[in-house]
Amino acid sequence: MTYCVGLKLNAGLVMLSDTRTNAGLDNISCYRKMFFFENPGERVIVVMTAGSLSVTQTTLARLQEAIADDMADETTSVLLAPTLLRAATIIGDTLSRTRREIAEQCRDLRQQASASMIVAGQRKGGEQRLFLIYPEGNFIEATEDTPFLQIGEHKYGKPILDRVVTPATSLADAQKAVLLSMDSTLRSNLSVGMPLDLAVIERDACRISQHRRIREGDPDFMQMSAAWSAALRDSFGKVTI
Amino acid sequence: MTYCVGLKLNAGLVMLSDTRTNAGLDNISCYRKMFFFENPGERVIVVMTAGSLSVTQTTLARLQEAIADDMADETTSVLLAPTLLRAATIIGDTLSRTRREIAEQCRDLRQQASASMIVAGQRKGGEQRLFLIYPEGNFIEATEDTPFLQIGEHKYGKPILDRVVTPATSLADAQKAVLLSMDSTLRSNLSVGMPLDLAVIERDACRISQHRRIREGDPDFMQMSAAWSAALRDSFGKVTI
């Protein structure tokens, strides 16, 4: 499983992903699920992935190959696409094609292979965009009403986001919100695991403003997690029915 | 969908269920999912249900029929079974048989029909018991380590239970905990809906100590929900990363 969440705020974009990949309970490994495509100051795109590793890795490899290709143009390279919407379309098409090919290969074994992605970014002169790309390649976009998108194990971590995240949330509070959302998920689903990748793109920076890898035992994360548990219990004591 | 939760505490048993039943999004109705079998002072059993209404209603009707039958004995009536474990076995067997029959009827249409149940209670001279009965009729039991059991849409409401419920939790706090757990679920899953049924069985009372139906717009529930949201936002402001 996986948990990835992206927030689109007035102040910028905030993304958080875990790194646990598993095939069954007895085959667990650590793979990065957050990827950067960047031409700093001009364009930045963050892709987060959930689903079959063979689908997500092949999709990402094809996107990278398309960028590096001598014949790369605005219809093939996410760094040359004229808008973020076109870049999301390239990613969606690549994901859809890869997924169909691999599903076809798996058909004899009746195994499923699918994946979804969150794509966040901005190009110079454009707006910030945050998309959720479905396995079929179509996508939806975050709006003022729903400023966050999640993929993977999204349920445990949704109540806190519902309650505290609005477009006006600061980047500092947003990082706290996604980390607390992840904390609830880590406690409840073993197939979501540390380390975490946290990235921030300030509005109009068009570059990765911050990227931090949070490892098992990270003292700041542990302190925040303990403080949140204590604060929740304290709040619980004060509420009456 | 459904959300039902049961807690086994040193002080007693606490159960909460919603009442929304739906077939698709355009066919929504209200059915009670909490049922009492009681011989006050001697024995009390609460059953909560999740799954296909035809399976749960038929199972409950058969359990009631078996109690009323002139030939009722300790192998057929949950009110005569010598222990709560035997009563859970009767319920599990009845559920499993009913589910298999209905699944067989549905086979041509390739429709699924399944259900699970939470069973809580105590008989005079016995211990309090809390079981989760699977569609196949087998069951698990709450323990000191895991004093709560959930059926239906369990994920949204689990983080708060994980953080505040222990066997030492008071009955008042336990009611608050299950109502807050339900509140998070109601906000996130449209197929879980008011009114709610809340029941408390004090330890060794062997009767329903309290049963309350909480309807849409209940002022106490609304006040608690608003206070919890405010307390969460307040706690969120205090935690630092």
Strands B3-9 and B12-17: antiparallel
| A19/A193 Cα distance (integer angstroms) | 6
| DSSP at B112 | -
Please, which pLDDT band fits residue A120 given cuts at 50, 70 and 90?
very high
Could you report the per-residue pLDDT of B185-210, keeping only the tens digit for each?
999 888 899 999 999 999 999 999 99
| A2/A151 Cα distance (integer angstroms) | 7
Is residue A137 within 8 A of residue B196, CB to CB? The reply is no
Which pLDDT score, from 0 to 100, does residue A110 have?
76
| B146/B6 Cα distance (integer angstroms) | 11
**Chain A residues with CB inside 8 Å of B224's CB?**
239-241
Q: Which two tokens stand for residue A129?
A: 């965009």
Alpha-carbon gap: A117 to the closest alpha carbon of chain B (Å): 22
Report the candidate in B203, B48, B34 with the shortest Cα–Cα distance to residue B126.
B203
Phi, psi dihedrals of residue A153, rounded to the nearest 5°: -75, 85
List beta partners, residue A211: A199
The pLDDT of residue A241 is above 90:
no
Three-state DSSP class for A104? helix
Q: CB distance A241–B221 less than 8 Å?
A: yes
| pLDDT (mean) for B148-162 | 95
End-to-end CA gap in chain A: 37
| pLDDT (mean) for A20-26 | 84
Could you report the per-residue pLDDT of B50-108, keeping only the tens digit for each?
999 999 999 999 999 999 999 999 999 999 999 999 999 999 999 999 999 999 888 88
Sign of CA dihedral A172, A174, A178, A184: positive
Q: Residue A226 CB: number of other CB atoms within 10 A?
A: 12
Classify domain A3-238 at the CATH topology level.
Glutamine Phosphoribosylpyrophosphate, subunit 1, domain 1 (3.60.20)
Report the candidate in A77, A75, A87 with the shortest Cα–Cα distance to residue A126.
A87
**Chain B residues with CB inside 8 Å of A184's CB?**
159
Nearest CA in chain B to A172: B241
Average pLDDT score, chain B: 95
Candidate ranges A182-191, B107-116, B206-215; pick with highest mean pLDDT: B206-215
Is residue A175 within 8 A of residue A128, CB to CB? The reply is no
Alpha-carbon gap: A236 to the closest alpha carbon of chain B (Å): 7
ipTM of the predicted assembly exceeds 0.85: no
Sign of CA dihedral A140, A208, A10, A32: positive
Report the candidate in A126, A156, A134 with the shortest Cα–Cα distance to residue A13.
A126
**Chain A residues with CB inside 8 Å of B187's CB?**
159, 162
Is residue B98 within 8 A of residue B106, CB to CB? The reply is no
| DSSP at A68 | H
Give the residue extent of every domain in chain A. Answer: 3-238
Instruction: Indicate the CATH number of B3-235 among 3.10.20.600, 3.60.20.10, 3.20.20.70, 3.65.10.10.
Output: 3.60.20.10
| DSSP at B231 | H
Please, which pLDDT band fits residue B22 given cuts at 50, 70 and 90?
confident
Report the candidate in A128, A118, A150 with the shortest Cα–Cα distance to residue A202.
A128
Q: Which two tokens stand for residue A205?
A: 């920076």
| A166/A173 Cα distance (integer angstroms) | 10
Alpha-carbon gap: A193 to the closest alpha carbon of chain B (Å): 16
Q: CB distance B239–A232 less than 8 Å?
A: no
Three-state DSSP class for A43? strand
